[in-house]
Amino acid sequence: MERHEIRIERPWLPLKVVSVIVGVILLIIAISVLFVLTLVTTEVGYITLIIDPVAGTVTTKGDGTTARWFFFSKAPWAYEKKVYVAVDVLHMWTEGGKIGDFPAVGCLTKDGLAVEVDITVRWRINPSNVLDLFKKYPELDWKSRTIVPLIRETLRDVSSKYTAMETITKREEIAVAVNNLLEKALREEPTLQGSIVFEGIDLREINLPRKFTDAIEAKLSAEQEKLAAEFQAAKVLVLANADANATVIRAQGTAEAINQIAEKSNIETKEIAQLYILVEALKKIAETEGKVVVVIVQGEAGSWIMPIPP
């Protein structure tokens, strides 16, 4: 039995063509790698620092207002650092075992009482001074190294000028004082001059010791009770005076009425007055005893009322 071999001829590209294709692929890869290594990106709120250790230079890209791509804008070996230039917020508080970015600031009042101050501080970095700020703080640690200590120093300075009670009654005044003094401190700090734009503070709380607040609450409660007692006493006095005045007015009115009756009826005023008193007495008996039979005895010394039991 005869065996037949089928041979398939594969077309071969010329070596020169293959070399060109490989070269093109390698070129594309190299360009892509170079593109990635030299691409610089910026984000909204950030400025990008480009550090070239070979040339020994530092440059910036972007202004923080928009996001952009910068093609072939750095050497392949250069690296980037991002600097946040939008409004930054620093929280310094302690509450329920938790803390903000940093703990609350311990301070002493003018009268030596220890308090803890919770505060929030807002600022931003001047974009035109980012490069100068980086030269002074290569690790971008100006917040922990300088700003936080300045905040603590400012709070302790201001709190030392107020008593413990004044931290309650003059809270707004203290907040204004802290705001102004901190703005001045950030402006005059040599390593931050021109780089920090102060936005303001929120003085969240000045926490007094528990024993002190309990004493204040007890004092306020006692004062309120005292005021309430004084008010009640004044009220009773006013009512008593009013009742006395009303009694005097009623007596004057009764006397005037008796006099008028006496003039018109030719009866002595004394007799009419006795009759009036007798009628009033009968009214009171009726109000307290209900229906009752009485005997009125008229004598030289006056009239007597003798109630007869039922």
Query: In angstroms, rounded to a whole number, what is the distance separating the alpha carbons of residues 166 and 58?
Result: 50
Q: Which two tokens stand for residue 215?
A: 């004493």
Query: In angstroms, rounded to a whole number, what is the distance separating the alpha carbons of residues 68 and 61?
Result: 9
Which residue has tokens 């939008």? 86
Q: Where are the domains of the chain?
A: 15-84, 88-208, 267-310
Query: In angstroms, rounded to a whole number, what is the distance separating the alpha carbons of residues 24 and 14?
Result: 16
Domain 88-208 grouped into CATH 3.30.479.30: yes
Predicted structure pTM score: 0.63
Query: In angstroms, rounded to a whole number, what is the distance separating the alpha carbons of residues 283 and 277?
Result: 10
Sign of torsion over alpha carbons 53, 55, 56, 60: negative
Full pLDDT tens readout for the chain, 310 residues: 555 555 555 555 577 777 777 777 888 887 777 667 777 888 898 999 988 888 888 888 888 888 888 877 788 888 889 999 999 999 999 988 889 999 999 999 998 888 899 999 999 999 999 999 999 999 999 999 999 999 999 999 999 999 888 888 899 999 999 999 999 999 999 999 889 999 999 999 888 777 755 656 566 565 666 666 666 666 666 666 666 666 656 666 666 665 666 555 555 565 556 566 666 666 666 666 666 555 666 555 555 555 555 5
Contact 111, 166 (CB under 8 A): no
Query: In angstroms, rounded to a whole number, what is the distance separating the alpha carbons of residues 49 and 102?
Result: 27
Q: Within 13 Å, how many C-alpha atoms sit on residue 11's CB side?
A: 2
CA 149 to chain CA centroid, Å, is 23
Length of the chain: 310
